C-alpha cells in the first residue's frame, strides 16, 4: 500500500515539476509568454505563446522535459538508496508524460509512443525495485 501511495504522489509531483519547467523556460525566453496552464480533459498542459521563434519554442518544450530530469539526477547523486529508487521513478514518469512534447519537437507519433512505452517500463522497473527493497525474505516465507 505504501508503494502505491508513494507512486501516486511522485506522479503528481513530477507532473507539477514538468509543467513548472515549461513555465520557468517561458519566463527565461524573451520571445515567449505564459498563456495558461490548462487542466481540462486529460493531463494538464501549459499553453505558451512564442513570437514565431523555433528556438524559443524548443527551449520551452525542453524546459518541461529537463527540469524533472535535473531533480532526479540531483536526488540520484545526492541521496541514499531510497532516493536513487525514487529518482528512477521520476525519470520514468518524466519520459512517460512527455509524449506531446516529443511530438511538438518534431518526432513522429511512433517515436513518441516508443518513448512513452520506454518510460512506462522504467516506472514498472522502479516500482519493482522499490517493492523488492521494502520486503525481506522472512515476509515471503510467511505468505
**Which string of DSSP letters, residue by residue, matches 11-44?**
HHHHHHHHHHHHHHHHHHSTTEEEEEEE-SSSS-
Q: How many domains does one find in the chain?
A: 1
Classify residue 142: in a domain, yes or no.
Answer: no
Classify residue 143: in a domain, yes or no.
Answer: no
Classify residue 139: in a domain, yes or no.
Answer: no
Classify residue 43: in a domain, yes or no.
Answer: yes
Domain that holds residue 61: 2-134
Q: Angle 54-78/2-28 helices, nearest 10 degrees?
A: 140
What pLDDT tens digit does each residue of the chain (143 aa) get?
Answer: 788 898 999 999 999 899 889 888 888 877 776 666 666 666 666 667 777 677 778 888 888 899 999 999 999 999 888 899 999 999 999 999 999 889 988 899 999 999 999 999 999 999 999 888 877 655 545 44
pTM, two decimal places: 0.82
Classify residue 92: in a domain, yes or no.
Answer: yes
CA distance linking residue 55 with residue 10, whole number of Å: 31
Buried b (16+ CB within 10 A) or exposed e, 88-114: bbbbbbbbbbbbebbbeeeeeeeebee
Amino acid at each position: 500500500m505504501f508503494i502505491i501511495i508513494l507512486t501516486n504522489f511522485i506522479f503528481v509531483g513530477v507532473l507539477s515539476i514538468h509543467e513548472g519547467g515549461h513555465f520557468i523556460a517561458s519566463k527565461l525566453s524573451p520571445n515567449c509568454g505564459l498563456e495558461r496552464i490548462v487542466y481540462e480533459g486529460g493531463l494538464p498542459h501549459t499553453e505558451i505563446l512564442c513570437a514565431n521563434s523555433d528556438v524559443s519554442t524548443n527551449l520551452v518544450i525542453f524546459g518541461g522535459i529537463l527540469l524533472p530530469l535535473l531533480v532526479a539526477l540531483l536526488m540520484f547523486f545526492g541521496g541514499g538508496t531510497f532516493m536513487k529508487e525514487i529518482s528512477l521513478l521520476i525519470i520514468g514518469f518524466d519520459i512517460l508524460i512527455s509524449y506531446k512534447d516529443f511530438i511538438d519537437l518534431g518526432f513522429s507519433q511512433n517515436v513518441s509512443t516508443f518513448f512513452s512505452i520506454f518510460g512506462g517500463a522504467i516506472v514498472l522497473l522502479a516500482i519493482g525495485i522499490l517493492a523488492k527493497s521494502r520486503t525481506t525474505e522472512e515476509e515471503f516465507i510467511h505468505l
